[in-house]
Amino acid sequence: MSDPSKPFILPPQREQITSEPDPGGRWSDKFPDMIGYKSQGGGKVPADFQWTTNPKQWQEELTPKTLASRYQQLRVLPATRTTPALPEGTQKE
């Protein structure tokens, strides 16, 4: 049980104690798939960039009728089984 008179203090060199990756983004063989600050972003969106579609508007325009019609178009039914023919001389009762 912890002592309430002694508050927990985060150590200044946390990475050395917990063996976590370096927050500065330097690669470590302990964490080969880590993504650090240096390997993120850096890109810039052009000022004249425009979306060609608006997914939110497309979703809002869907109605139950259009959803049902698309479902019918995309639905694939399994092949219907034919009932086997009874041998001659037997009657279904």
Res 87: pLDDT? 78
Structure-model confidence comparison of residues 91 and 85, the more confident one? 85
Task: Please write the tens of the pLDDT for every residue from 50-83.
Answer: 888 888 888 888 888 988 998 889 888 888 777 7
Q: Are 30 and 21 in contact (CB under 8 A)?
A: yes
Task: Please write the tens of the pLDDT for every residue from 2-17.
Answer: 677 888 777 777 767 7
Among 4, 22, 5, 25, CA closest to 13: 22
Task: Please write the tens of the pLDDT for every residue from 18-51.
Answer: 776 666 656 666 666 666 655 666 677 788 888 8
Res 44: pLDDT? 79
